[in-house]
Chain A
Amino acid sequence: MLRRRLNRLLGGDENRVDSRTIYVGHQPCSATEGFTPPKFCDNRIVSSKYTLWNFLPKNLFEQFRRIANFYFLIIFLVQVIVDTPTSPVTSGLPLFFVITVTAIKQGYEDWLRHKADNEVNKYPVRVLEDGRQTSKESEKIKVGDIVEVIEDETFPCDLILLQSSREDDTCFVTTASLDGESNHKTHYTVPDTEKDLESLSATIECEQPQPDLYKFVGRMHIYKPDQDPLVRSLGPENLLLKGATLKNTKKIYGVAVYTGMETKMALNYQGKSQKRSAVEKSINAFLLVYLCILVSKALVCTSLKYWWQSRDGQDEPWYNQKTQKEKDTNMYLKMFTDFLSFMVLFNFIIPVSMYVTVEMQKFLGSFFISWDKDFFDPEIREGALVNTSDLNEELGQVEYVFTDKTGTLTQNNMEFIECCIDGFQYKYRDSRTELDGFCVTDGPVSKLQQKAGREKEELFLRALCLCHTVQVKEAGSQVDGDQVDGLDHLNPHPEEEERGFIASSPDEVALVKGAMKYGFTFLGLESKNMKIRNRQNDVEEYELLHVLNFDPVRRRMSVIVKSKAGETLLFCKGADSSIFPRVRQEEVERIRMHVERNATEGYRTLCVAFKQLSAEEFALADAELREARLALQDREEKLMAVYNQVETGMSLIGATAVEDRLQEEAAETMEALQGAGMKVWVLTGDKMETAKSTCYACRLFQRGTELLELTVRTLEEGGRKREERLHDLLLEYHRRAVQDAPPVKGGVTRSWSTANQDYGFIIDGATLSLIMNPSLDASSSRHKNLFLQICQNCTAVLCCRMAPLQKAQIVKMVKNSKGSPITLSIGDGANDVSMILEAHVGIGIKGKEGRQAVRNSDYAIPKLKHLKKLLLAHGHLYYVRIAHLVQYFFYKNLCFILPQFLYQFFCGYSQQPLYDAAYLTMYNICFTSMPILAYSLLEQHITIEVLLDNATLYREVAKNAMLRWGPFLYWTVLGVFQGLLFFFGAWFLFSNPALQDNGQVFGNWSYGTIVFTVLVFTVTLKLALDTRHWTWINHFVIWGSLAFYVFFSFFWGGIIWPFLKQQRLYFVFANMLSSVSAWLVIILLILLSLMPDILLAVLRRPKSPRARQKIPGQSSAGGTQSSRSSARPLLMRTFSDESNTVI
């Protein structure tokens, strides 16, 4: 946007840079000053990151850019360079393992990308060259080549359609792989190109590549030998995108305009920005703490070492002489290397394996979402989709839910309900009760049983039949089941052939079908002629002159048609707010009431207007439209201006009401979310009335909810300046919702029995922009603050008339507010993408508005109702699992390393490891890794059913409850306690090292092995204590790990290993087991270490909610639900009751 403006300011020179010229078929054109083939990139698609040559360095570089890997690399290098207590293998092996596994995984993924790239790049295509058709590999296509594509092939690059095998110079494509829209789109050939492509001499001037799929401007100059060059405008309707598929058309010829990485598909292929979960931030915070512990341990040991050595006789006793090299080393250098040695000795406190395990847990854990058959929707035959596994646990932390309305809360399954013609209401009941299928109900003048005049009726219905961009699906392709709507069975005319309609918006189909019910059938568009069959079964034909496309800013669309009688008519339909100012006021009054009433009932309303254009008017409009369409610069703005100019002075003929049903279980889902302590905000582009009634239907607003409205209407009530009024209202609402509210709503915020007043807040887009972007006012931030505080105290907030960007703005505002709450956005359409990307967690609904939301989301689910299980069950469990995983990892490494630290005090601070190198290496990799991984995948501390029944359980883990400093401190204290116990237990035992009944003594490795055995058993049994859900896998890995440890120790100590320099552990473990004292001390220490946990578990348990023990048949949520449904206001009849029956 900015650039475009800049360019405009800078003027002509820049324009040339902004466009490219293409010589069609590489034919030099007579009119141009010499042919210089311009350079464009080739048609190779490169999505792979590596080549065979740069894989190793590049991949390694990228891996070591991660701070953790880098840390371990440093540790490894220190071990290699400095004389350290442990061999480089102890940290090198795990690091090597991690790096290798990651490299293999990434290499494999890249290989797959290479394969996919090759498949695309080597695909044979047919190119017209010098009049001959030659076959080429796709990657060799150059800009300007004329390419032939046959039916069901995908386009190899972005093409301008020159010739189609269809007679009407169109072709059909589906862009399913680009934006997920599976409907057939019509594309047009450039008019006036010659049939003989060999002799075509033309240039194309078009903009430089840009990623927007729906924008393209260009101009084609066609040179004919004996004429002035023709100029034709090119738009998106002429452009065939790479990746789209040709349908219903035998073959086409097109000229390549964008190739390779410059195609719109390639430009759209971009990795999404990484979202980081709150858990990850906690891990990093804990990591910092542990890093501090590590450094301070090393510092303490180093300084104590030098203090101790300074004492008499301790530095170099005769039995332990230093080497000459040691003596020569500089004292400070020695101190430094000692410090590094201690770091290396204690570095296991931050284990490499934690990252591996966390990654594995996330990756494997996410499968449970896509495997869940509850998420499977038989209608679209798809289950949930996980686009990122990094955010699993974030699903258990959501505080704010931002939901779209259309397609998310509602089904986006439109049904024509009623219409209003000239102020009279028509409600369709049954075609057979009345001859013409009309029935007049309580209109404003219902007592008179009046109908609008026949003229008006027919005009209105013709308008419905003509003013749209719907296509009739050809009978042959009907079996695809591709229809946008599924309402065919409602067709009231069984004698009519089953008709499929394809349209970009389901509203349009509903309207065309609505017209069909009243006798006007749209038969299709044939070479710019629209055919409709009227009530008399006559076929009327209209020539389609212009389509003034729908866009969300204008909120209306128009067509200009010419009837057989020669009249030029403009039909326009659009939102009431965009139509009313453009029609005569007296007409508005008659219809406004209907529109508003329909809106309160939750219907989507559209107003229909028309105007007759005189020949001069049309000529003027036609010229302007053509001119605007040819414009290379600012085409959109120019078109918009012309549209606005043409769509004036119309007369209003009626309004329609289309019902959008609520999604299945929408109300229950919303209720569960609120019960779980989440605040639900509805962000919609829809009208306030419609949105409000949806909110009521979803039980977001209750009958008792006091609504605080902040809309353009309330702002204009006082008759004062908007800003002042806004200020006053904000202050007043703030007083009501924030100051008068009880300070802290503990436990269940939403208790229906208490007198606690619930507040609902409604704001519209215009007011929001007043708050967010005020006109140079100091109180701006204050407004924003007030607004935020009010909203945070409301149980539900409704933001209507939102532009997509405003949705993201709101999400961002809440996300950055105090306490940085976790936000979740859910939506199904392209207009929700911005808020899906903005929120911490973005959820896409696999709905009808294409797949853009799904592609940009983190998780995609087929239906809104699945959100409940996704958050309450999966999210909760994932959070508990990973939180426990993280805490446990830090804990187990703390009590692993603490004895080693304590041992330094008894070995002259000489960095003597307490455990053997094999134990040091294997502890995190083999002995203690599997049980926690199994736990973090399978644990259900509360079963899924109970979680779903009791939404309030979600609050237990809210606000990162398990990873805050409190629990962290508990785990740390536990780790310290156990570490002290392990070490000093063994220490007291070794006050007399004669531990065997044959009087022989144990050495230092026996000491370490005793401590290590206690350690492995304790941390594993600690996990066993925490496991509430013992599947056979848990049993297998927990007992298996312990058995493996014992087995390994025997094995490791049972053989003289030829590759080892020192046979330290030879028969140490077996000798240890032959000592009764060692057995007794191991048992004692394990039990004592676990005692605090057992006690805590027993003393704390009764406080936890009763729900933990499932009592069949008594689900508390069910109870409240039934009692509440009776209390629901009548207004919602249509929605939830029906939606309950749909299932």
Chain B
Amino acid sequence: MKNEGEMANRPDNTAFTQQRLPAWQPVLSAGIVIPGFVLIGLAFIGIGVALFVTSQKIQVLETDYTGAEQGSPCYDCRDTSVPCVCRVNFSLSKLFEGPVFFYYGLSNYFQNYRQYGSSRDDDQLSGYTSAFTSPSETCAPYQYNSQKKPIVPCGSVANSMFNDSFKLYHVVNGQPRPVPLDGKGIAWWTDYNIKYRNPTVNGTLASAFADTVKPINWPRPAYDLDTTDPSNNGFQNQDFIVWMRRAALPNFRKLYRRITEGDYANGLPAGNYTLEITYNYPVLAFDGRKKVVFSNVSWMGGKNQFLGIAYLVIGSLCIVMSVVMLIVYAKYKFPEDEL
């Protein structure tokens, strides 16, 4: 009886309740940290060198075609009330290795503006026709047009889709020869194949868009975006999807085309080129700039010096730190450690 009572009140003698769980008690000592830093430093320098070299090897060709300055090729097109075509010439002194990626870039363009970013209706883009008749509130002021007809795709993002178009000509013997541009595979695979869906009504895409209107700024409705490839229409249009993925920063570039076909699969050979631009997209009103970028990519993506340099700096910093620590320890700390 007595014993029972005693046991009932006595605290459990387990490792947990007595705070005696077996524990690993690591100590960050110089003996671990200094060699660790050296190793990390060396590894980082290695990676840094690889990154730097890779980045250096990437060829980039950038051309601003905004036409803000007098004398620049597209100066006359800067007022875009009328469709306008301008040409930018450039020459390559050596082979621009392929596959070549063709980007367009915008600056001082706030695609990451909050109200802008939320001005879309993902239900529409997923192909739910119910959202066609009543677009989301967030799309305002591009929810309905002035006749109260629903806009599909609604919202600022879709409405402001980039609509300059480019043609690239290789000037061979004074004759322009078109370079085939590949519009496939420029958007994320999952976006193109899963996230963005076209509605299916009565077989044809166009009938699904009945009783809706195209976005105000668009020249053609969504089901007729790509005149050359009928399967690249509606929301499942590569250019549209690329545009709809909002850029993170106000200066950004987006993939336009890839050059992977024909004679240019191995790259753009040295020579003169003409870029024919159909200038539609106004940017000067908000002090923006437009550019085109030709670049090839490596395993690390496009050209970016930052990573390589950062790795080199941090790697060397680690080495320096370990040397400093070694000196400090040699001078002050070792006698104590030996105790």
Contact = CB atoms under 8 A, between A and B. Distances in A.
Interface of A: 85, 312-314, 317-325, 367-368, 370-373, 375-376, 378, 381-383, 906-908, 910-913, 938, 940, 943-944, 985, 987-1008, 1025, 1028-1034, 1056, 1060-1063, 1066-1067, 1070-1071, 1075-1077, 1080-1081, 1084, 1087-1088, 1091, 1094-1095, 1097-1099, 1101-1102, 1106, 1109
B247 A1003 contact: yes
Given A910-B113, A1102-B337, A998 B287 contact: no
Contacts of B23: 940, 1029-1031, 1034
B306 A1102 contact: no
B101 A999 contact: yes
Contacts of A1106: 339
B229 interface: no
B126 A320 contact: no
A438 B30 CA distance: 74
A1107 to B, nearest CB: 12
Given A317-B110, A373-B13, A994-B295, 15 more contacts: A319-B160, A376-B11, A381-B6, A910-B114, A913-B114, A989-B306, A991-B251, A994-B101, A994-B253, A997-B298, A1000-B187, A1004-B247, A1033-B21, A1067-B188, A1084-B311
Nearest to A85: B114
Interface stretch (B87-95, B116-124, B204-212, B261-269): B116-124
Given A324-B141, A1003-B246, A988 B306 contact: yes
B112 A906 contact: yes
Contacts of B40: 1087
A1030 B21 CA distance: 9
A1075 B28 contact: no
Contact of A907 (B18, B30, B110, B321): B110
B9 interface: yes
Interface string B227-255: 00000000000000010011111111111
Contacts of B303: 992
Contacts of B173: none
A319 B10 contact: no
Interface string B66-83: 000000000000000000
A997 B301 CA distance: 5
Interface string B135-178: 01010111000000000000010011000000000000000000
A335 to B, nearest CB: 16
A1025 B28 CA distance: 9
A993 B287 contact: no
Contacts of A1031: 21-23
B46 to A, nearest CB: 12
Nearest to A1034: B23
A1013 to B, nearest CB: 15
Contact of B113 (A320, A372, A995): A320
Interface string B308-339: 00110010000001000100100011001101
Contacts of A1003: 245-248
B5 to A, nearest CB: 6
Given A319-B159, A1101-B29, A1102-B336, A992 B113 contact: no
Contacts of A1033: 21
A224 B289 CA distance: 114
A1004 B248 CA distance: 4
B321 A1095 contact: yes
Nearest to A1027: B26
Contact of B299 (A376, A988, A997): A997
A998 B255 CA distance: 10
Contacts of B25: 943, 1028-1030
Contacts of B12: 371, 373
A325 B141 CA distance: 9
B200 interface: no
A382 B28 contact: no
Contact of A1030 (B26, B126, B250, B332): B26
B120 A1062 contact: yes
Interface size class of B (residues with CB under 8 A): 35 or more
A993 B30 contact: no
B157 to A, nearest CB: 9
B188 A1071 contact: yes
Contact of B310 (A907, A908, A988, A1097): A988
A1029 B303 CA distance: 45
B307 A1098 contact: no
Contacts of A1098: 28-30, 33, 325
Interface string B41-59: 0001001000100000000
Contact of A323 (B140, B247, B248, B282): B140
A908 B325 CA distance: 44
Nearest to B125: A1063
B114 A1001 contact: no
Contacts of B328: 1099
A943 B109 CA distance: 58
A1070 B30 CA distance: 38
Contacts of B136: 1061
A314 B311 CA distance: 37
B250 to A, nearest CB: 6
A1097 B311 contact: no
A367 B120 CA distance: 53
Nearest to B310: A1084
A994 B17 contact: no
B141 A371 contact: no
Contacts of A911: 114
A1066 B195 contact: yes
B144 to A, nearest CB: 12
A531 B195 CA distance: 100
A1076 B109 CA distance: 28
Nearest to A374: B18
A1097 B321 CA distance: 13
B300 A1080 contact: yes
Contact of B285 (A313, A1084, A1102): A313
A367 B242 CA distance: 57
A1008 B112 CA distance: 12
Contacts of B255: 994, 999-1001
B113 A1094 contact: no
Contact of A994 (B109, B156, B297): B297
B110 A910 contact: yes
A997 B103 CA distance: 14
A172 B114 CA distance: 79
Given A321-B141, A373-B10, A381 B21 contact: no
B202 interface: no
A78 to B, nearest CB: 16
Contacts of A372: 11, 17-19
B16 to A, nearest CB: 8
Contacts of B5: 381
A1116 to B, nearest CB: 14
Given A907-B112, A1004-B246, A1062 B118 contact: yes
Nearest to B26: A1030
A88 to B, nearest CB: 15
B302 interface: yes
A320 B17 contact: no
Contacts of B302: 992, 994-995, 999
Contacts of A1097: 28, 33
Contacts of B299: 997, 1076
A1123 to B, nearest CB: 22
A992 B304 contact: yes
A139 to B, nearest CB: 33
A912 B18 contact: no
B321 A1080 contact: no
Contacts of B103: 994, 1001
Contacts of A944: 19
Contact of A912 (B117, B142, B253): B117
Contacts of B282: 318
A1091 B317 CA distance: 10
B247 A1084 contact: no
Contact of A993 (B138, B248, B297, B298): B248
